[in-house]
Amino acid sequence: MTRTGEQTEPTEADRDAQAAVDPVSSIESIRETGQIAPVRPHRSDLHCITIIGQIEGHLVLPPQNKTSKYEHIIPQLVAIEQDPSIRGLLIVLNTVGGDVDAGLAIAELIVTMSKPSVSLVLGGGHSIAIPVAVSADYSFIAPTATMTIHPIRLAGLVIGVPQTYEYLDKMQDRVIRFVTQHSRIKPEKFRELMTRTGELVRDVGTVMVGAEAVEVGLIDQVGGLSDALAKLYELIEARSAADAADTRPRR
């Protein structure tokens, strides 16, 4: 007990509670991160990465574009892999796609992480976002979310020589190989969806909504946030059990 009138140092819980109700702190949080401070701070053993807008690569996009920069996402993935307090990763996608190299780099990092991961496509997971979605151990798509599969495009100066088309074909093969290796869709089916005509007004390709992406084997399951979190904890428990079995002494 403390005597009346004595001042004591605030505990961590007191500071968290004060930050949760302090309007100035909430405004600063919104200004700096775009997020509202939670009413009850909760320390989770999961980490959530959101990939929204356009995946920005080697070129800086105009300021009016909402982007996810690969130089921000890649260090986060490295930190998550090294942090022992984080047991699983949730990737939330609502993106129109973007830079091919940047998208594949993010996908390659996710698929090589030792910690369980689950992806959730909300709104849209188009173009190069598809490899990112399938790079997780398990993937979900919201019932109304869409995914657009289309051929790779080049921006800027294009030289009309055979080598340009050979380069495009090689770039396309990289995407097809990655997607088909980490999902249930066959290469022939993915290429057919990519080059389908008559569905998009000004382009070739295919738009799939929710369950259609599951039917072709691109995404594992239709679901939402609670489904994704439940699956992630299931994968974490399975990984923990497997690790415990590996460390158990053998006769």
d(CA 136, CA 120): 9
Active site (catalytic) residues: 127, 150
pLDDT at 188 over 70: yes
- Mean of the per-residue pLDDT values for the chain? 85
d(CA 198, CA 192): 13
103 in Cβ contact with 128 (< 8 Å): yes
Between 10 and 100, the higher pLDDT residue: 100
pLDDT at 250 over 70: no
Portion of the chain with pLDDT greater than 90, in percent:
56
The Cα diameter of the chain in Å comes to 86
Q: pLDDT grade, residue 21 (50/70/90)? A: very low
**Helices and strands (H, E) in the chain, number of each type:** 9, 8
pLDDT at 182 over 90: yes
**146-149 and 206-209 beta bridge pairing:** antiparallel
Domain ranges, ordered by start, for the chain: 15-44, 46-247
pLDDT score for 143: 97
- Across the range 156-172, mean pLDDT stands at 83
- Across the range 108-131, mean pLDDT stands at 95
pLDDT score for 230: 97
Q: pLDDT grade, residue 2 (50/70/90)? A: very low
CA nearest neighbour of 145 among 133, 136, 128: 133
d(CA 128, CA 146): 13
d(CA 132, CA 121): 10
Residue 73 in tokens: 């996402």
- Across the range 213-240, mean pLDDT stands at 96
Q: pLDDT grade, residue 61 (50/70/90)? A: confident
Beta bridge partners of 88: 46
CA nearest neighbour of 197 among 209, 189, 205: 205
- Across the range 196-204, mean pLDDT stands at 81
Which stretches within the chain are classed as H helix?
12-21, 23-33, 70-82, 100-111, 129-134, 162-181, 187-194, 211-215, 225-247
Report the amino acid identity of residue 59.
L
Class of domain 46-247: alpha beta
pLDDT score for 26: 58
Exposure string over 201-230, b if 16+ CB within 10 A, otherwise e: eeeebbbbebebbbebebbbebbeeebbbe
pLDDT at 39 over 60: no
pTM of the shown model: 0.78
Which residues neighbour 92 within 8 Å (Cβ) at sequence distance 6 or greater? 48, 49, 50, 51, 119, 120, 122
